[in-house]
Amino acid sequence: MSAGKFLATLGGTRFPTPPVWLMRQAGRYLPEYRAVRATTRSFLDFCYTPEKAVEVTLQPVRRFGLDAAIIFSDILVVPDALGQKVWFEEGEGPKLEPLTDPAQFGRLSRVRLIEHLAPVYRAIALARAALPQETALLGFAGAPFTLACYMIEGSGSRDFAKVKLWAYRHPDSFGLLIDLLAESVVDHLAYQVEAGADAVQLFDSWAGLLPEEQLFRWSLEPMVRIAQALKARHPMVPVIAFPRAVGPAALMYRRPDAFAALSIDTGIGAHWAAQELQPHICLQGNLDPMMLVAGGAAMKREARRILDKLAHGSFIFNLGHGVLQQTPPEHVAELVETVRQWTPSLA
């Protein structure tokens, strides 16, 4: 039975061309997504309706024949399941009733986490059953630091001053929040694997805010702890780490004892990554999402440049961050074709 190119690559097998999928491959750039999305007002209700979540999970796989699907959900379902108020405002992104005092941590509880997130696990089981055997299904979660960013700021932010000042001034209480989130994320990922996810990705989208010692403490260490706790329950499941915008501190995330692959953002040079990271760990990335908006010759040239640097080693083609809303879907088809037609240059 074929495990599929994506999982085989994580397991160390090499193919003439790398597997390809895209972060945020399901979303508003697809008209068929907008059609299903329009049937539910609240974004969280949409995430918690398994039939709709499955449909939009499958859409990009049907259209583009990608090597992996990622379950349609959001990182903020975890704070929602812990009892924090979370909602999404049209055109403004996520809103949360912010945590302003450690005393409020007491209101958060893991007791109903799994019950609350049952629709996500149901969607995973349905999606796994509907996908072709050779297409991998990814589960995911936000890493504790990125979740804490939204939970303390109450939304996105320009400088994330509140969360950083809390971490720097009151590391003990910040540590309690990080630990609660780490334990919750382990449970959430373990249930996704039990429902049928073949691999999982941890998104630390705001890791790049932290200087290196703080990065080690609040991003890397909890992510390693999560991966190892998950492995204790599911030894075979690959974990992909995406610490966004950490620059050369990506060196710290070369941890094959925890992660099967490291997802690199656009700010990391493919040449440097091939020399410093790839000998130690499978890489995923890192086309600029704006190149996918641009399309045409510029996009193809850039995709081939990345392939020339990284596709000789253990590699999964992806973007450096999520697909942008203004992306023409035809450009995604062109990108997938460019990856599948790549041949190593003889130079």
Contact set for ligand CP3, span 166-205 (CB under 6 A): 203, 205
Report the residue number whose CB is nearest to ligand CP3: 205
Q: In what order do the strands lie in the sheet with 239-243?
A: 68-70, 136-142, 199-204, 239-243, 261-263, 282-287, 315-319
Catalytic-labelled residue, pool 29, 121, 150, 191:
150
Nearer to ligand CP3 by Cβ, of 89 and 179: the residue is 89
Which of the following is catalytic: 74, 122, 217, 255? 74
Count CB-CB contacts under 10 A for residue 225.
Answer: 18
Closest CA to 327 of 52, 29, 8: 29
Taking CB under 6 A as the rule, does residue 25 contact ligand CP3? yes
Q: What gap in Å lies between CA 89 and CA 85, rounded to an integer? A: 13
* Burial degree of 16 (CB within 10 A; 0-12, 13-18, 19+): exposed
Q: Confirm or reject binding of residue 70 to ligand CP3 (CB under 6 A).
A: yes
29 binds ligand CP3, rule: CB under 6 A: no
Among 102, 267, 322, 329, binds ligand CP3 (CB under 6 A): 322
The only residue of 43, 160, 191, 218 in contact with ligand CP3, by rule CB under 6 A: 43
Give dist(CA 196, CA 37) in Å, integer. Answer: 24
Q: Looking at 3, 32, 40, 74, which residue binds ligand CP3 (CB under 6 A)?
A: 74
In the complex with ligand CP3, which residue's Cβ is closer, 93 or 296? 93
Indicate if 28 belongs to the active site. Answer: yes
* Range in contact with ligand CP3 (rule: CB under 6 A) among 24-32, 160-168, 180-188, 267-275: 24-32
- Of the pair 88, 216, the CB lying nearest ligand CP3 is at 88
Q: Are 45 and 296 in contact (CB under 8 A)?
A: no
Neighbours of 165 (CB within 10 A): 12
H or E stretch covering 260 = none
Q: Which amino acid is at 118?
A: A
> Taking CB under 6 A as the rule, does residue 258 contact ligand CP3?
no
CA atoms within 13 A on the CB side of 41: 0
| Catalytic residue check, 150 | yes
- Measured distance CA(93)–CA(87) in Å, rounded: 9
Token pair recorded at residue 175: 């540590």
- Contact assessment for residue 88 and residue 94, using Cβ atoms and an 8 Å cutoff: yes
| Residue of 6, 29, 48, 140 interacting with ligand CP3 (CB under 6 A) | 140
Q: Tell me which of 18, 19, 27, 285 binds ligand CP3, using CB under 6 A.
A: 27
- 24 is an active site residue: yes
Binding residue for ligand CP3 (CB under 6 A) from 51, 89, 93, 343?
A: 93
- Residue 37 annotated to the active site: yes
- Measured in whole angstroms, the distance separating CA 134 from the mean position of its chain's CA atoms is 20
**Half-sphere exposure at residue 226, Cβ-oriented, CA atoms within 13 angstroms:** 35
Q: How far is the CB of 205 from ligand CP3 (least distance, A)?
A: 3
Between 192 and 342, name the residue whose CB sits nearer to ligand CP3.
192
Catalytic residues: 24, 28, 37, 74, 150
* Site residues, ligand CP3 (CB under 6 A): 23-28, 37, 43, 70, 72, 74-76, 88, 93-94, 140, 156, 203, 205, 322
